[in-house]
Amino acid sequence: MNAEARQWLLGFMDFLQAEKRVSGHTLQNYSRDLNRMLAFFQEQGLTHWPELSVKTIRLYLAQRHRADIAGKTLQRELSALRSFYRFLVKRDYLTTNPAALVKAPKSPKKLPKLLDVDQAAALLDCPANSLLEIRDQAMFELFYSSGLRLNELVNIDLTDIDLTAGMLLVRVAKGGRQRWLPVGNKAITAIKAWIEVRSAPDSPALFINKMGRRLSTRSVQLRLDRWCEKNGCETTHPHMLRHSFASHLLESSRDIRAVQELLGHQDIATTQIYTHLDFQHLASVYDFAHPRSKKTRDPASGQ
């Protein structure tokens, strides 16, 4: 691509940051995806953005698909290209968006892994034997109690939680949508125990490291790995606690709208995946318990 083409790409990045105010993480994804596609288009001999055709875009997607890149990733990359070309059209540089005519291959829906109720209890009821483990237990209890995302958990400040009322304000949420969440008694007890030994009065963060700084998402993941290994629990990642919260709540309440609000999902279709998990559980119970669900004996085998 020539200098003008690269300048348009830089202008789009400035637009995302200054006008759309996307997060740093989203901006990195756009930059990485578009620069990867740019390198491919250059290999095909393109020098200007108007030269890009539907055929070339499909060629790129086919190459990535043959490299076993997941359909979800390809959909994200195509979405970035569509957004970029919408920007070019709005700036009157182009009149059409070739990426709008292309569909990325769909990836099969994967049901999230989760803990059953007994596994969750085994994980959370392990004793805390050090100051850091008191903090860790409070984090994991709050994860499961309120169905938080990992980024939401690490951004909680002391002033965001009302232990008397049992309520939590999630300020830093996906899409910038704040929400109030209830906090269960077990989590309140664990958080109180952590606050009693927490020794960083100048830090606003609820969960801090030994240096008094806000915990990173990576640190929480590593601490959960260590907690599971030490206590012989089912290997768990932070989002499994969120999935478990959603599935267990939906199984008990049957109120998908309430679960949607608690999870902070903008679209109820995102929440509906937990209805599939619930159905799988019901189906397994049926297969085990119903007398007419058993497989018939094979006469040839005598079984």
Q: Please answer whether residues 183 and 168 qualify as being in contact, where contact means their C-beta atoms are separated by less than 8 angstroms.
A: yes
Active site residue 48: no
Per annotation, catalytic residue among 36, 65, 179, 239: 239
Give residue for tokens 């957004």. Answer: 83
Q: Please answer whether residues 206 and 163 qualify as being in contact, where contact means their C-beta atoms are separated by less than 8 angstroms.
A: no
User: Which alpha helices (DSSP H) does the chain contain, by range?
Assistant: 3-18, 24-43, 54-66, 71-90, 117-124, 131-146, 150-154, 185-197, 217-231, 238-253, 256-263, 268-271, 273-289
Active site residue 30: no
Active site residue 290: no
Active site residue 86: no
Q: At what angle do helices 71-90 and 3-18 cross, to 10 degrees?
A: 100
| Token couple for 168 | 């939590």
Q: Please answer whether residues 166 and 265 qualify as being in contact, where contact means their C-beta atoms are separated by less than 8 angstroms.
A: no
Per annotation, catalytic residue among 149, 198, 223, 243: 149
Per annotation, catalytic residue among 82, 174, 179, 186: 174
Per annotation, catalytic residue among 64, 198, 248, 265: 265
Active site residue 186: no
Per annotation, catalytic residue among 223, 242, 243, 248: 242
* DSSP summary character for residue 182: E
Per annotation, catalytic residue among 274, 286, 295, 297: 274
Give every strand in the sheet of 179-182, ordered side by side: 161-162, 167-170, 179-182
Catalytic residues: 149, 174, 239, 242, 265, 274
